[in-house]
Structure 1
Amino acid sequence: VFELPANYTCRSFPGPGVEHIGHHNPIREFISGADSHVDSEFAKFTDKHDKRYDNSTHERGRKDVFRQNLRFISSKNRENIGYRLSVNHLADLTDFERRSLRGKRYSGVEYNGGLEFDKTKYSLNAVPQQWDWRLSGAVTPVKDQAVCGSCWSFGTTGTIEGVYFVKSGHLVKLSEQQLIDCSWNEGDNGCDGGEDFRAYEYIQKVDGLSTEDDYGHYLGQDGKCHDKTVKKTIHLKGFYNVTSGDTQALETALYYEGPVTVAIDASHKSLSFYSSGVYYEPTCGNKPENLDHQLSKTANQSHQNSRSS
């Protein structure tokens, strides 16, 4: 016969935590009638991110996708993985739709026109183990690329903004939209993807990149190029390639020159919903053809710190 320990009492189910039943008992999600928490979370999601759907059928479809993503987020957060996931503006998108937002396109080009970065010209012993350009004011606030595969343009501007600050002491917000609209002749494809070195080539070709205020604010879609009618703030003479896989060279370039454009494998669903902590994915690819998202590395710490869009 079951006997209660001293000073313990019984109470009826459901008890505390029932309002988060999907987190408390995930099996209940698969039982009819256990969708109330999904309804609540979906309502919060649509309100926070101002989601509007064409009709009730469209909304039901998006809600089903949201439910699957919410299950994934809750499941990963129950694991001891060292970081947390949370619902964000991508939570009603399918895997295929999220894939289209990763705008780094691999073209297989052997040489991209950049000069070789020679780390031996610098005092390597002077490079600190930890360095963060955000603390020096060299990094603009995080930007949102929206539903547009334009990460390559944000990786480009983020790096140039930081290097310009290091050289001049002035922090400016540069125009990703100009790169999206105008670097097609160099091989970029606007919201359908591109590569940072092509953006650098474009900036050199037209002798400058405009600020966001001068060119116009980010649209989240392809626009009409009007670079001939706006002021150019940044003028670029060239760019350097940091040797792939050489951590010391990367840390040296970051410390002495400023933020560096890097590419990562962003194909993993966990990264789409990353919220906090030190992200680690053991199956991340590191070959050129695996790298599908471009960002700007801004800090050197015990872990890698980068600014994404």
Structure 2
Amino acid sequence: MKLLVSSLILIALSLSALTFLALERPSNELGDMQNVAMMFLKYLQRYKMHIINPKEYMYRLNIFAKNLQNIKNHNQISNKPYIEGINQFTHLTEEEFEQTYLTLQIPASKQYKTQEFLGDEVPSSIDWRDLNAVTPVKNQGSCGSGYAFSTTGALEGIHKISGKDWKGFSEQQIIDCSRKQGNSGCHGGFMENAFDFVIENGILQENDYPYEGHANFKCKKNNSNQQSYKIQGYYNINKYDCRGLQQAVAQQPVSVAIDGKFLQRYHSGIIGDCGSSVNLNHGVLIVGYTEDFFIVKNSWGTNWGEDGYFRITKTNTCGICEAASYPYSINYQ
């Protein structure tokens, strides 16, 4: 019954929008906008979004239309190696998208171990998904917690590669409990801070501290019967060392920061350019590479991108070689 009422409301709003467009738009534009309005209705139904206020509905419809035009313009440029498309962010402005999802907070420089790679030979390609060292793609929802998912992905990778049973670790614990280390819950954080938390406190499996998609003001205490896992430390790869980053990924999945502004409308293909101004604002996980690109796991669900992943060239595109780190020696305590 609730679903039926929601559907009827959406249809009524769509009809109102079409009536408004018929009055406000020139006749030569009306057909296109009517198509967009119907696409928007299907979009809301697909992503289970509920908009009751008519003004908000029209506002989102106009944003949706602008994003559709941007997608069309991008895809008409023949030399672009990646395709844009409709996803769960098409109803958002670029500013709204950045404020909610691009919330990485890189702290002032601090002491950390760096790993030097002196011409080490590496395979020409590797994909840790094929080696069962990557957990399924997760979805952070509207919580700005990409840093937490990047962290747990790296922990899950090294845990499996170390020969232990497959485990999924708790992003929610990092969100709730790592403020002392400098993170800000659903308002952003940084992978190094999260690794520091795991060194000091350990981390639970996600089944023991499940994801809620919002920050809790209190950190839940570990029960005595819950296994917690600690790492001895983590390495940072020298800034701009893309060769070193590839060598690290040859050993295990690696947490990285990137400029995610081009990900809002990403659908498929290889990202090869982020423009001249790069701002590291999102945490993701490199899970493999080929001769031409890195394979990167995101935390926006499997309906986004290439089943939750994207590909990006290995020449520090979007700043991917500027802030990379990975843990070592994980054991339960």
The answer to whether the Cα contact below 8 Å between 1:184 and 1:190 also exists between their aligned partners in 2 is yes
2:76 is the counterpart of 1:78: yes
What displacement does 1:176 show?
Answer: 0.6
The one-character-per-residue Cα deviations of 1:249-301 (angstroms, maximum 9, x if unpaired) are: 11221112x10111111123xx2111111112251545xxx211111111021
Structure 1 gap segments, 5+ residues each: 1-27
> Which amino acid in the other structure matches residue 283 of structure 2?
Q
- 2:298 corresponds in structure 1 to 308
Provide, for residues 26-62 of structure 1, a one-character-per-residue CA deviation record: whole Å limited to 9, x for no partner.
Answer: xx99723431211221111101100012422221111
Matches of 1:191 and 1:60 in 2, distance apart? 28
Q: Distance in 2 between matches of 1:281 and 1:169?
A: 38
Q: 1:44 to 1:188 in 2, by over 3 A?
A: same
Cα distance in 1 for partners of 2:170, 2:227 equals: 10
Alignment CA distance shift 1:93-1:255 (3 Å):
same
Give the Cα separation in 1 of the matches to 2:60 and 2:127: 39
Q: Which runs of 4+ in 1 moved over 4 A?
A: none
Structure 2: gaps (5+ residues): 1-25, 300-333
What is residue 296 of structure 1 aligned with on the other side?
A: 285
Taking only aligned residues, the RMSD between alpha carbons, in angstroms, comes to 1.9
Match of 2:166, SS?
A: coil
The CA deviation string for residues 10-35 of structure 1, in whole angstroms up to 9 with x for no partner, is xxxxxxxxxxxxxxxxxx99723431
| Deviation string, structure 1 residues 102-155 (Cα, Å, up to 9, x no partner) | 121133x122x43111324xx812x11111111101111111111121111011
Match of 1:281 among 262, 273, 280: 273
The amino acid of 2:95's aligned partner reads F
Between the two proteins, the alignment pairs up a number of residues equal to 269
Aligned-partner Cα distance in 2 for 1:277–1:130: 18
Q: Where do 1:134-145 residues align within 5 Å? A: 134-145=129-140
Paired amino acid for 2:81:
G
From the superposition, tell whether residues 282 and 291 of structure 1 become closer, same or farther in structure 2 (CA, over 3 Å). closer
Pairing 1:1-309 to 2, within 5 Å after superposition:
31-80=29-78, 81-100=80-99, 101-107=101-107, 109-111=108-110, 113-120=111-118, 124-125=120-121, 127-206=122-201, 208-216=202-210, 218-223=211-216, 224-229=218-223, 231-256=226-251, 258-268=252-262, 271-283=263-275, 285=277, 290-301=279-290, 302-309=292-299
Q: Partner letter of residue 60 of structure 2?
A: R
From the two aligned structures, give the one with the greater helix fraction.
Answer: 1
- In the alignment, the residues of structure 2 paired with residue 104 and residue 29 of structure 1 have an alpha-carbon distance, to the nearest angstrom, of 45
| In structure 2, C-alpha distance between the alignment counterparts of 1:29 and 1:220, rounded to whole Å | 44
- Provide the rounded CA distance (Å) in 2 between the counterparts of 1:168 and 1:284: 42
Greater strand proportion: 2
- Alpha carbons of structure 1 residues 291 and 29: separation in structure 2 relative to 1, 3 Å: farther
Identity percentage of aligned residues: 29
Q: Distance in 2 between matches of 1:298 and 1:30?
A: 48
SS for the counterpart of 1:306 is strand
When residues 159 and 51 of structure 1 are mapped into structure 2, their CA distance, relative to the original with a 3 A threshold, is same
Structure 2: distance between partners of 1:41 and 1:165? 43
Distance in 2 separating the partners of 1:90 and 1:29: 29
Bigger radius of gyration: 1
Change over 3 Å in CA distance of 1:246–1:30 after alignment to 2: farther
TM-score, scaled to structure 2: 0.76
Structure 1 position 228, deviation (Å): 2.9
SS of 1:296's partner is strand
| Cα distance, 1:181 vs structure 2 | 0.6
Query: Does the C-alpha gap of structure 1 residues 30 and 249 become closer, same or farther in structure 2, counting only changes over 3 Å?
Result: farther
> Which secondary structure does the structure 1 equivalent of 2:203 belong to?
coil
- What is the identity, as a one-letter code, of the residue corresponding to 1:150? S
Decide whether aligned partners of structure 1 residues 227 and 79 sit closer, same or farther in structure 2, where only a CA change above 3 A counts: farther
